[in-house]
Chains A and B, each alone.
Chain A
Amino acid sequence: MAEANLHQSALSWGPNNGHRLLNTRLPRVDFPHKTTGTADYSYDVNVPGMLHGRLLISPYAHARIVSIDVTAARKIPGVRAVTVRNGPGGTLRFEGDPVAAVAADTAEIADDAIHAIDVKYDVLPFVVTADDAVKPGAPAVFTGDRRVEGNIRPASRSGNERDVEDALRSADAVVEAEYRTPILHHACLETHAVVVDYRGGDSATVYCATQGTFSIVGDAARALGPKVQESNVVGIVHYMGGGFGSKGGIGIEGGMACALSKQVSRPVKMALPRRDEFLMGGNGPGSWHKMRAGATRDGQLVAIHTIQYGMGGIGGGRLASQPYVYHADHVYLEQSSIHTNEDASRPLRAPGHPQACFAMESLMDELAYKIGMDPVEFRIRNLGDDGDHIRQLQRGAQEIGWVRRSQTPGATPGPVKRGFGCACGQWGGGGGPQCVVTVAIAPNGAVSVSCGTQDLGTGTRTYMVAIVAEELGLEMHDVKEHIGDSRLGRANFSGGSSTTGSLSPAVKAAAVNAKAELARYVAPLLKAQPGDLIFADRKVSANGTSLTWQQACAALSPAGLSVRGEWVPGLNSGGTHGACFAEVEVDTETGHVQVLRMLDVQDCGLPLNRLAVESQINGGMVQGIGVALLEGRVMDANLGVMVNSSFMDYKIPGCLEMPREMLPLIDDGDGRQQVVGVGEPPSIPPAAAIANAIYNACGVRCRELPITPDKILMALNPKA
């Protein structure tokens, strides 16, 4: 093994255009299961004797529990266990805060039991909108927290305010505006789901829809303990129905499932109904940006002053910094959170970036129009030496046909107006030494690659197979993958687009090590040195002689070989750039917006699988359409409850919202021969690009998302 490890010090992927499988278009290896109903999502797991769990959640935004009586619920035939999370005196801080849970023979009976729990609540003053939260005398979401004043929690402050004011006074054009985005929901189609297979004793298997296989075991052991130790818990995430940042660990619902399971020593499935998912299964923070920025007549951004609030309910709500991807000589930035009586925000695909991007890119557009400069040109002038974004803006402008754009908003004839808009995004990503991968080769030639990591739909399984198959000179179907099981090698949590950057180097290292190990056995048969063997076309060759893969593997001992690989530096990188362009049609009589064409240019170093990267970019654009036009949590300020906690009322993009043409463009101008995760970045600029296109089409600048028809009509007819 020492010899094999020597190879790792010099690992590289080689030129991006020199791959046989990587950087090509690979159908995902698990598609035969995903298309036939045979992929076992945690939500689908049924084990013998399993009970169905259900949560009782708070109907109020803020309340104290006076009493709770579960007698009637327990009496319902088929109800097996009841657990109370918040007893008398307990405080509930948002609609959806879990109160109790039941487990019953069927989901229907569990539903009945929830309604049979008798809770008396003392309803307390609450606040559920940012506007109300910052009013003098507003009810305090947190009391006794000295860092919070008037529901505002200051986070950071940077820059010299006086310099900014001076620079703004000398600018040729100044725009002052407020931009807002609502609280959004991940809306994964698979809601949070966990099956706790515990039947008494000291061990358990826990199937969970989560973004971290290894986050299951600790959480479950704590909830099932002390008899059940972490080393005796198996965590499984074979398939995941979407995460987008909302799923970590087993969650409160998983903890309650463990409590129920422990009570009766029977397996319990806790899968959140859609309404619970909206209310306590995660949201991404809203945002409020108060901005002033100035530019010179020749298109230089000179100063920008920003006060920025994240609205993350009882949680924080960090936003990306301004002026986002652009440069200004003088920058002042204040960042804070505004608290409301709503569930704590969680990371949502590129946390904090789409919000900051929408505000900054709207502001850039306003300044460009004010000084009469082409918005693409104005952006390029303020990107400094950021050649990546400049290249992407130029390519995007050409591909969308930016020259067709009318320079005067609303100038196209007729009631249906066309317009173009653009925006830029950026993301960090990266990766590190967090994964252990095993490649095993059997004497009959069977090859497997395994790691406990999870595939959220990003295509993890497929690139694991591709890396190993390419290294060993095999085809995709020659290699079998195993993931999503905590008994396999450790792996990192999927967040921040860092899975691929952490995992793929470890897979490469394992494949290289396996190849070196196999070569030691095969070289004598070919009368060659191990380092001289060529692995290609399902053969191992040297000196003009070749063995089939099966013949070569027959040289192994009966135990075959099984070697590890860990992350090595140099194979991955961080830092991505993207630019999105949209062409829209706005019906000025109905306010309806249809995106006609859209493209998103995105760099990612070496694309492991072009087909999967393009799907990520498409997905970013589709979610951006939702953010721009459809989505947003709506709260009833008087009742403190969410008005649209269903897919009927919280509208996500569907087939009819899809543009006629969508171009997911991989930016091969990024010459890095390193892997960079690309799950989050393509979702950042699309909403801003659409908002800017709407302005270009009809002259309406909507500074608050989503841009629904009523907002457009009100702006077009302010007196109506």
Chain B
Amino acid sequence: MDGAGDQNKPAVSRRGFLKGVGVAGVGALVAEYPLMAPGEAPATRPDASKGPISGNIDIVLNVNGKDRPVTVEPRTTLLNALRNNMQPAVTGPKLVCDMGTCGGCTVLLDDKAVYGCLTLAIDVVGRKITTVEGIGTPENLSPVQAAFGEHDAMMCGFCTDGFVTSITGLLKRNPNPSEEEVREACKGNFCRCGTYPRIFQAALSAARTQQGG
């Protein structure tokens, strides 16, 4: 493990915290980190039972249907793995608050919306990760993406990837939501430009399109 320089500093960073737990504790901490959605532990996940996981680890993440090799640390979030560590980077999910309040980093984990900034990369090896790039492309927009354009459900657009992902996740589990259900599904996403009313309209319109209406 590198980073000898900060051993005597107060344990404030995530890295420092892991050190503060002690070498034996690190593996346990990582192994017990709760998954965002319960699922089978995949075979390729780093085996924490053999001892502490530290330093750089090579893992493979399944992103938008492709197996993507990436080098991460145990503390690397899924969001940072996608945005910073993966080459080429996957920058649709945005880092905005880094503490699970704004939804800018929303990704689908086995079709369920989760915060990329609160998910550790090593915890989602073998899971199906879908980012906004995997939902549609400029040439082949999904109904949700097309509805956002039609209803002007975005201004600066920095929150849009998160909202599109959250609503896509909603429509997978509830193809015909009420406006109340749309608001509920998006309550973990912030838009500072204030496009909410049109996001709700876009979600309902996309649901109708998907239903063939």
Contact = CB atoms under 8 A, between A and B. Distances in A.
Interface of A: 27-28, 30-41, 43-44, 46, 52, 72-79, 106-109, 111-113, 115-116, 186-191, 239-242, 244, 271, 273-274, 456-459, 611-612, 614-616, 618-623, 646-648, 652-656, 658, 662
B187 A76 contact: no
B157 A30 contact: yes
B28 interface: no
Given A112-B16, A647-B99, A621 B160 contact: no
Contacts of A656: 183, 187
Contacts of B15: 108, 111-112
B193 A457 contact: yes
Given A108-B75, A623-B194, A646 B159 contact: no
B102 to A, nearest CB: 5
A396 to B, nearest CB: 18
A647 B99 CA distance: 8
29 contacts: A27-B152, A35-B145, A35-B149, A36-B136, A36-B138, A37-B90, A37-B132, A46-B88, A72-B5, A77-B2, A111-B13, A115-B9, A188-B158, A189-B104, A189-B190, A189-B192, A242-B156, A242-B158, A242-B193, A274-B96, A274-B97, A274-B98, A457-B193, A619-B194, A622-B194, A646-B101, A654-B187, A654-B196, A655-B183
Nearest to A106: B84
B193 A619 contact: yes
A240 B152 contact: no
Contacts of B128: none
Contact of B73 (A76, A108, A273): A108
B184 to A, nearest CB: 8
A116 B98 contact: no
Nearest to A243: B156
Interface in B135-167: 135-139, 141, 144-145, 148-150, 152, 154-161, 164
Interface residues of B, number: 73
Contacts of A40: 91
Interface in B179-205: 183-184, 186-187, 189-198, 200
A416 B99 CA distance: 35
Contacts of B96: 189-191, 274, 647
Contacts of B157: 30, 33-35, 39, 239, 241, 457
Contacts, number: 228
A602 to B, nearest CB: 14
B130 to A, nearest CB: 11
B93 to A, nearest CB: 8
B156 A116 contact: no
Interface of B: 2-6, 9-10, 12-16, 73, 75-76, 80, 83-85, 88-99, 101-102, 104, 131-133, 135-139, 141, 144-145, 148-150, 152, 154-161, 164, 183-184, 186-187, 189-198, 200
Contact of B154 (A34, A41, A72): A34
Given A41-B158, A190-B156, A619 B195 contact: yes
Nearest to A109: B3
Closest 7 CB pairs of A and B: A37-B92, A622-B194, A457-B156, A241-B158, A34-B157, A619-B194, A31-B149
- Chain A CB within 10 Å, residue with most, of B84, B104, B192, B195: B192
A354 to B, nearest CB: 14
A37 B131 contact: yes
B95 to A, nearest CB: 7
Nearest to B92: A37
Contact of B138 (A32, A242, A456): A32
Contacts of A274: 96-99
A112 B8 CA distance: 12
A76 B137 CA distance: 41
Contacts of B156: 188-190, 239-242, 456-457
Contacts of A36: 92, 132-133, 135-138, 141, 145, 161
A622 B184 CA distance: 18
Given A189-B158, A273-B98, A274-B97, A116 B6 contact: yes
Contact of A38 (B12, B133, B154): B133
Given A189-B158, A618-B197, A75 B4 contact: yes
Contacts of A619: 155, 193-195
Given A36-B138, A655-B183, A662-B197, A242 B192 contact: yes
